[in-house]
Amino acid sequence: MAAVRPRRDLHLVQIVDAALANAAHRAGTWLACHPGCAQCCIGAFAINSLDAARLRDGLGALRVSDPERAERVQRRAGAYLERTITDFPGDAQTGTLSNEEAQQEAFASFANDEPCPALDPATGMCDLYEYRPMTCRVFGPPVRNEGGALGVCELCFHGATDQQIASCEMDPDPNNLEQSILDEMPSKSESTIVAFALAKQ
């Protein structure tokens, strides 16, 4: 799943981060997210080819700015795979998740207790924060899922009414730029996990 990060991804990141900042401003103290809060960094989740390319770009940048920290990230990614590879619901050589229904169901319980390899266990901070996947960038504020329901982090919006929650909704990518970029990538239909993106280089 080696892929070059498309130049337009920088624009996508700017759009999503601006939407997050706007939603966070509207949410105020209802949004409990803060540095060191890492509950959403536990458990595997699927990332697309663009996320994987961004993470690899981030690891490359970290190798230049802080080689020892980059090495720790890659070691954590390798250890993650060693612990979980026998249950990986996809191609264990390439890291590509399977599209088969049974395998997708298995992914729901795959590596649920595993911390993300980008998470520094000493600080509770993400070592690749500026390069994190889109799932990480939109977690916390109210965001619509594929079924149209509005979801929020369970740690956030305590005491807020449904109407108040809805008033803080985040629309991260209104023009569907992410899909447009993915459609131009050779591996556009592939998905993987963070550990594979960081360990297999």
Q: What pLDDT is recorded for position 34?
A: 84
Question: Which pLDDT band, with edges at 50, 70 and 90, does 3 fall under?
Answer: low
- Determine the Cα–Cα distance for residues 137 and 141; give it in Å rounded to an integer: 10
- For residue 38, what are the CA distances in angstroms to 24, 32, 60, 93, 116? 17, 11, 23, 29, 9
- Residue-level pLDDT at 35: 84
What residue ranges do the domains of the chain occupy?
Answer: 9-199
Q: What is the pTM of this model?
A: 0.92
**169 has a pLDDT exceeding 60:** yes
pLDDT mean over 133-140: 94
Determine phi and psi for 42, rounding to 5 degrees.
-110, 130
Supply the pLDDT for residue 186. 85
Tokens of 163: 């109407």
**pLDDT tens digits, 28-48:** 999 998 888 898 999 999 999
* Average pLDDT value for the chain: 93
Q: What is the mean pLDDT of the segment spanning 139-154?
A: 89
SS3 content of the chain, % helix, strand, coil (to 5): 45, 10, 45
Q: What is the pLDDT of residue 201?
A: 59
Q: How confident is the model at residue 2 (pLDDT cuts 50, 70, 90)?
A: low
Quick one: pLDDT at residue 148?
A: 85
Q: How many angstroms separate the CA atoms of 64 and 67, rounded?
A: 6
pLDDT greater than 60 at residue 1: no
Q: pLDDT digit string (tens) for 91-119?
A: 999 999 999 999 999 999 999 999 999 99
Work out the pLDDT band at 145, boundaries 50, 70, 90: confident
